[in-house]
Structure 1
């Protein structure tokens, strides 16, 4: 495909097969319908979801299960159909990270996970309709009473 300019990594070579298509864009960014997932240098739990068309638009994302092992929700059948999901193994879930100067003040959006079909290369931010998960969950989950760490 070619070289694109990115917000955090300078110029990056991407292939057409790297692009995830978001039919409706993202909330607040309806015109942004193409994103690529870029790995950060080194062994990182974070990735960059970079707009394919707008160099300055990128989101730091992470797999929520790395931080919140019990994180789960039911995906509406209509969303699964929109994303052309045929097998659960083709689905990846990431959440947007809001980094602050003090890492302990950084948060992740558990209320609006991004659902990716890694096979069909489609994506959608899915806003959960219940109050189970917050928009600004701590990057470090609170310790549950009675649960001891390792």
Structure 2
């Protein structure tokens, strides 16, 4: 199917690539169907694009590529919503706020988007018990392999 995207123009996707968010994203709860569009095969960055509204798209990053010690627990309620059978089926992404220059961009480590890659469902989880992760963490300060 063809979709219009915020950053990449018109893109061809397969129906099985669609990820359904159980609650939408914070502030955008009415949009629940998204697709993850990699920017490059080896890049930790991708586009998380709504298939329901072309102007809703986010640059997301695999946070562990930037900060190797990033970790959080997922509640039993969230695991149930995410239909978790195996923990390794889950993948987390952080929304990136892009700035010029790129080094001034930030990652939202406080509210990752967690996706069950097998069941094609996901949820944005606001971390409650981990004050170590801010809403806007400068990419320039991240401790990982991309620096």
Q: Same fold (TM over 0.5)?
A: yes
Aligned to 1:148: none
- Structure 1 window deviating more from structure 2 (104-113 vs 37-46): it is 37-46
Answer with 1 or 2: which has the greater Rg: 1
1:107 and 1:137 in contact (8 A); partners too:
yes
SS in structure 2 at match of 1:49: strand
Q: Is 1:85 matched with 2:84?
A: yes
Aligned to 1:17: 16
Q: Distance in 2 between matches of 1:70 and 1:56?
A: 33
The Cα RMSD (Å) is 1.3
Runs of at least 4 residues off by over 6 Å: none
Give the TM-score normalised by the residue count of structure 1: 0.90
Aligned to 2:140: 140
Deviations 1:78-121, CA, capped at 9 Å, x for gaps: 10001101101110010000010122211000000110000000
Shift of 1:138: 1.1
2:61 and 2:95 in contact (8 A); partners too:
yes
SS in structure 2 at match of 1:86: coil
Shift of 1:142: 5.5
Gaps of 5+ in 1: 144-150
Q: Distance in 2 between matches of 1:25 and 1:66?
A: 25
Give aligned pairs, total. 142
Aligned to 1:94: 93
Deviations 1:53-82, CA, capped at 9 Å, x for gaps: 111110000110001000001110110001
Q: Distance in 2 between matches of 1:45 and 1:64?
A: 8
Shift of 1:44: 2.3
Q: Distance in 1 between matches of 2:7 and 2:48?
A: 10
